[in-house]
Amino acid sequence: METITNYPLFSLTNRNALVTGATGGLGTAIADALARQGAGVFIGYHTKASVAECLGKELSARYGIVAEPVQLDVNDETSVKQAVDSIIHRGKSIDILVNNAGIPGPMKKMEDISYAEMMETLATDLVGPFLMIKSVVPHMKQQGYGRIINLGSVSGSIGEQGLLAYASAKAGLGGLTKTAAREAVGKEKLDITVNQVNPGYTTAGMMRLVPEKILEKKIAAITLGRLGRPEEVAAAVAFLASREAGYLTGQIIAVNGGVA
């Protein structure tokens, strides 16, 4: 058996990572953290081509790795398959998959959420990660190695008034993570892990849209008394992406500052 002592601690050198939603605040921090550890990064984006291209050039110049934009729509099975196949056909491996792409969904009371709004949120935040995992795992099984990290949310674990669709999708993601972890290793018990990071309230994403009075209440419920930083969440993702995290699978790790 190959021992981890042959490698620098937490080094991702010679690994390639595909990060969906990499042009957002949290996604960019995750791409940066993986590149900083030496991984090549495929910057998954849906519509922000120029942002993805600029990020790729920035990461390549900063860390001396290869960072390339990859266009895909996580809601579309054909788009996902084409994106994954395009990477493999270029002779590249996908050693790490980070399912970060997501939408906040409708900020409405339950009785006001339409069927279409509910399904759109589930399609992006739950079915999207499923399609990504389904497409990537066969390649990981072939190479005998892989790290998959799903981005959940504190909303999925404690519930969130006004975010029923989003909280439901993120709660369902936990079941996907645990089941995929069992199935991904195959009969051969390959070195493939599937884990989930549940960020709390951070300075990135939809917390910027929350009214000040509500934001104050959210912060008051956090043990550390502040919002999290994207790079703090990204650090947890980078660890789970490492060889050293090989005995962690099917786990949901809360990075939330101690939400009460």
Strand pairing category for 40-45 and 191-199: unpaired
Q: Buried b / exposed e across 150-181, counting CB within 10 Å, b at 16+? A: bbbbbbbbbebebbbbbbbbbbbbbebbbebb
Asked whether 28 and 22 are in contact (CB, 8 A), the reply is yes
Looking up tokens 């021992």, which residue turns up?
3
Give the contacts of 201 (CB within 8 A, at least 6 positions apart).
Answer: 154, 207, 218, 219, 222, 227, 228, 256, 257, 259
Check: CB of residue 22 under 8 Å from CB of residue 30.
Answer: yes
Which of 185, 181, 184, 208 minimizes the C-alpha distance to 194? Answer: 181
The encoded tokens of residue 183 equal: 């199935």
Residue numbers annotated as active site:
166
Give the Cα separation of 119 and 165 in Å (integer).
Answer: 8
Look at residues 160, 41, 155 and name the one whose alpha carbon lies nearest to residue 94. Answer: 41
